[in-house]
Structure 1
Amino acid sequence: MQTACPSCDLIIDIPEINAKQVALCPRCSHKVRGININHDTEIVALSLSALLMLLSSMFYPFISFSSNGITQTITLPDAARILFNYDSDLLGLFIDISIIILPMSLLIILIPLHLGALKALPQAVARRLLKFTLTLEPWIMSEIFLIGVLVSMVKIMSLAEVSFGISFFAYVGFVIFYVSALTRLNRARLWSQVSPATTLQNTSTAERAIDENIKACHVCHQLSVESICPRCHSKTYLRNPNSVQKAAAWLVTSLICYIPANLLPIMYTISLGDETPATLISGVITLWNSGSYPIAIIIFFASVVVPLAKALILSFLCFMVTKPANLHTKGYTKVYQLTEFIGKWSMIDVFVVAILVALVQLGNLMSVTPGLGIVFFTVMVLCQMMAAHAFDPRLLWDSPKIITQRIKHD
């Protein structure tokens, strides 16, 4: 099997290896071939279980909140529905999409995919279906929402009595089954059912794909010299077009949003008629003063340090593209991979606010409303995710002069 490393563009001839072994790029250590075991039966079972758990979590009590004899109980859809009542339509829509609609769609599609649908469907339909399915995963945030629920419970346990309903435990089961199914997902095997990978000839003298004008498809990783991938019919490029410019544009937008996200209140707590605004920093201080040191540290790093660090790292990587590859390039690639991986985990605070707004609605006694800061924070995190997605790490390994010449012919 022949491939090009998606991180450094090294052409690799992967030998026949054990099904339980993985293949790593000898230059940057990126995983270029995962475990090649047929998990179809397990994925179908796990997906069905996850789907049943997700559906169950939507119709029963999720969390109950009691204070001074007044009780508020919410279901899972209430996390978004109540935001709509406070004119936070975009935030509510984002939560509905990321924790319910997208995971449900992915699970529904995964089941027929692993029952042989890709072979039974017309190739054009199978190709589009698989491309659509694989684009859903990065935007699903069910596991982050679950962490956000636990953090929000820590925040309010000192104020009132909190109890978990049957839907909460169903959602925990859903997340466990969903993550288990994803860890068994073999993308290369799915693409081989649509169309087997082909090997290019006369590439033995080339060290990197770009040296022979070979393009690695960003969707299915098929090598080709054509402008259209012969396997998935996506457009192919030597490098992602305007990668640095797009990443920089998303970064600038995220930094613009970073300032109001930290300065403006992310929520307001109304207690006996008194309204108290809370910013990201004040929320961390409150947790620290209450003795919840681990939670305070997690929120501080996820909501304050990580977004700023990601912006600085991606800005540095965009600058390093203009420099020749050196001994530190492998380290830069690792840092980029880590930045891309942790991107969506900054959304914890968004889900914390959503749960608090949905749950703490006790009239004049106590209530929580969303602030404009949380909207800016959500946009900031999404922009940083887009920036990381737009950046092409292979540029770090290129000679600036050569890459300019090659892309002119793309």
Structure 2
Amino acid sequence: MQRLSLSVDRSVSPTSYRHDACACGECDLLIPATELAEGESLACSRCGHLQSRHLPHSRVRPLAFGLATLVMFVLCNSFTFMAFSSHGLGREMTFLQTITTLVDAGYLFLAVVLSVTLIGFPLVYIGSVMLVVWRLDKSLHPHAMRSLGRLLCRIRPWLMVDVFLIGVLISLVKLMGMADVSMGLGFWAFVGYSIMLVLTISSLDTHWLWQQLFGHVEVALPEQGAVTAREAGLVGCHICGALNQEGENRCQRCGDHLHSRKPGGLQRTLALLITSAILYIPANIYPIMDTVFLGDDSPSTILGGVVLLWALGSYPIAAVIFIASVMVPLAKLIALFWLCWQVGAGKAHSPLAKLKLYRLTEFVGRWSMIDVFVVAILAGLIRLDNLMTIYPGPAAVSFAGVVIITMVAAMTFDPRLIWDLQEGEQKLE
């Protein structure tokens, strides 16, 4: 079997670079090598999936934004995040206390979720970006570089700092009707932390990074006949985008495991969806938080919180909570079940419309975590001895499980299966 050649050439023009031939990760279409000028992007001609962007100042911007992110993170943990006062009693909360309060209350699963998505993964991502980009022209063990590069690609969907910020704003609206609330310097530093993290992510193109680290993968595409990588006997790496010969176990550029289609087929996705559907029931039946006021315990479900916000006149916030916490998880479950049924039943019509539905479900899934973050903020802040205290309810754990498992289910679904059906029908014709 002939291996593809890997040529390392880091003498790339600052105003242009050649993007290697690749296979679209969403429809498997072969895309020839393309020269990209600064500011240009490359998208699949069949499904429109973005393959790469040649961003200006590709090396300086990630380092600058990454450093600013770390500075903002230190500042948001050095000052008061929020302050709450009612009937002469008050409490101040730091950012880290939203997590430590959950630990004290025995909700270790929720504490781990917040720790990982708000602190652990973001700091690992920023540190890895800065180290890899800084060492582009210097010697670093190739196995370490490959491990860091793969880590960057895998943890990116789990960075939820921006979602938490929206949860803080919703919590602020809820608290305004109960007592006086003030935002400390830590909150404004957290806003900067969120913005800088988003800018760091958007300033780095991973395909460009892999080519800078380990050079080009030279491959000759068939002049006619084969349209997809599978038809040409090639496999596109889902981490670095390099094309490899079918039958290779690992990508020759990034070292990740190769598979023409995601392993497990529809069975893995369906198993995760069924688990999410089961958890969705207690997530909406049981209280998501308990409010104790002067000894009176008032549990509140997700829908109960929406109704309360609506009654208080906070119509936009009630709508956001209802859509993000009720409609989006349910719609995502239905959409993924429908896509699995369409693929399993061999329905080949409208592949692009199905792909757009899949992209939508994958994009909105993480925003359902807003309600969990709201509960964590309220539980961390409102602890006024015997006057008023808020505790997370059992539904918070179930709902966090629904969000996480549906996100994993969307990741395990392979959208290329949608296009395989259409190609099969075309061959029969």
- CA distance in structure 2 between the partners assigned to 1:296 and 1:98 by the alignment: 25
Q: Which residue pairs with 2:232 in the alignment?
A: 212
Deviates more, 1:222-231 or 1:248-257: 222-231
Q: Which residue of 2 aligns with 1:39?
A: 58
One-letter amino acid of the structure 2 residue matched with residue 197 of structure 1: H
Alignment partner of 1:135 is 2:157: no
SS in 2 for 1:209: coil
> Given the alignment, which residue of 153, 160, 169 partners 2:179?
160
Q: What is the CA-CA distance between 1:116 and the residue it aligns to?
A: 2.4
Letter in 1 for 2:110: L
Task: Tell me whether 1:321 sits opposite 2:340 in the alignment.
Answer: no
Q: CA deviation at 1:326?
A: 4.2
Mapped contact 1:228–1:236 kept (Cα < 8 A): yes
1:266 paired with 2:288, answer yes
Contact 2:161 2:194 in 1 (8 A): yes
Q: Does 1:379 align with 2:401?
A: yes
**RMSD value over aligned CA atoms?**
1.7
Decide whether the 8 Å contact of 2:28 with 2:416 is kept in 1.
yes
C-alpha distance in 2, partners of 1:122/1:325? 48
Distance 1:105 1:126 in 2: 14
* Alignment check: 8 A CA contact 1:325 1:397 kept: no
**Letter of the aligned partner of 1:353 in structure 2?**
V
Q: Counterpart amino acid of 2:264?
A: N
Instruction: Please say which of residues 118-127 and 214-223 is displaced more in the overlay.
Output: 118-127
* Aligned partners of 1:119 and 1:193 also within 8 Å: no
Q: What's the counterpart of residue 408 of structure 1?
A: none
CA contact (8 A) 1:323 1:400 kept: no
Letter in 2 for 1:188: H
1:222 aligns to 2:242 (yes or no): yes
Instruction: Specify the alignment match of 1:280 in structure 2.
Output: 302
The alignment status of 1:252 with 2:271, answered yes or no, reads no
CA distance in 2, matches of 1:212, 1:350: 46
- 1:4-403 map, 5 Å: 4-117=23-136, 119-205=138-224, 206-225=226-245, 226-324=248-346, 326-399=348-421
Q: 1:39 deviation in Å?
A: 2.3
In terms of mean alpha carbon deviation, does 111-120 or 124-133 score higher?
A: 111-120
- State whether residues 20 and 35 of structure 1, in contact with CA within 8 Å, keep that contact through their aligned partners in structure 2: yes
* CA deviation after TM superposition for structure 1 residue 14, in Å: 4.1
Q: Please give the alpha-carbon distance, in whole angstroms, between the structure 1 residues aligned to 2:102 and 2:71.
A: 26
| Farther off after superposition, 113-122 or 166-175 | 113-122
CA distance in 1, matches of 2:122, 2:221: 43
Distance 1:89 1:289 in 2: 33
Shift of 1:396: 0.4
Aligned residues: percent identity?
Answer: 37
- Rounded Cα–Cα distance in structure 2 between residues aligned with 1:297 and 1:335: 22
1:59, distance to aligned residue in structure 2 (A): 2.3
CA contact (8 A) 2:348 2:418 kept: no
Q: Give unpaired runs (5+ residues) of structure 2.
A: 1-19
1:229-266: CA deviations, max 9, x gaps? 11111121111111311111111110000000000000
Q: Which amino acid aligns with 1:159?
A: M
State the distance in 2 between where 1:402 and 1:328 align.
14
Alignment check: 8 A CA contact 1:36 1:189 kept: no
Give the TM-score of the pair, scaled to structure 1.
Answer: 0.95
Q: Which moved more, 1:321-330 or 1:127-136?
A: 321-330
Deviation per CA, 1:285-328, whole angstroms, max 9, x where unpaired? 00011000000000000000000000011111111213557451
Question: Which stretch has the larger CA shift, 27-36 or 261-270?
Answer: 27-36
Tell me by how many angstroms 1:227 deviates.
Answer: 2.5
Kept in 2, the 8 Å contact 1:119–1:194? The answer is: no
CA contact (8 A) 2:54 2:208 kept: no
Contact 1:23 1:33 in 2 (8 A): yes
SS of residue matched to 1:71: strand
Aligned-partner SS, 1:228: coil
Go from structure 1 to structure 2 and tell me whether the alpha carbon gap of 1:301 and 1:202 turns closer, same or farther (over 3 Å shift): closer
Q: Which amino acid aligns with 2:253?
A: R
Using a 3 Å threshold, how does the CA distance of structure 1 residues 118 and 371 change in structure 2: closer, same or farther?
farther
Q: Is the 8 A contact 2:136 2:213 kept in 1?
A: no
Gapped runs of 5+ residues in structure 1? Answer: 404-410
Using the TM superposition, give the Cα deviation of residue 373 of structure 1 relative to its aligned residue in structure 2, in angstroms. Answer: 0.4
Instruction: State the distance in 1 between where 2:174 and 2:88 align.
Output: 20
| Cα deviation 1:207-228 (Å, max 9, x = unaligned) | 1111122111111111111232
28-37 vs 363-372, which deviates more?
28-37
Task: Give CA-to-partner distance per residue, 1:314-350, whole Å, 9 cap, x none.
Answer: 1111112135574511011111111111111100000
CA distance in 1, matches of 2:54, 2:165: 28
Amino acid at match of 1:366: M
List per-residue Cα deviations over 1:13-53 (Å, max 9, x = no partner). 14323221112211111112223433221221111111011
State how far apart, in whole Å, the 2-side matches of 1:109 and 1:100 are. 14
Distance in structure 2 (CA, Å) of the matches to 1:51 and 1:348: 24
Change in Cα spacing, 1:54 to 1:121, as seen in structure 2 (3 Å) is same
CA distance in 2, matches of 1:111, 1:320: 43
* Equivalent residue, structure 1, for 2:16: none
The AA in structure 2 aligned to 1:172 is V
Separation in structure 2 between the aligned mates of residue 255 and residue 119 of structure 1, nearest angstrom:
49
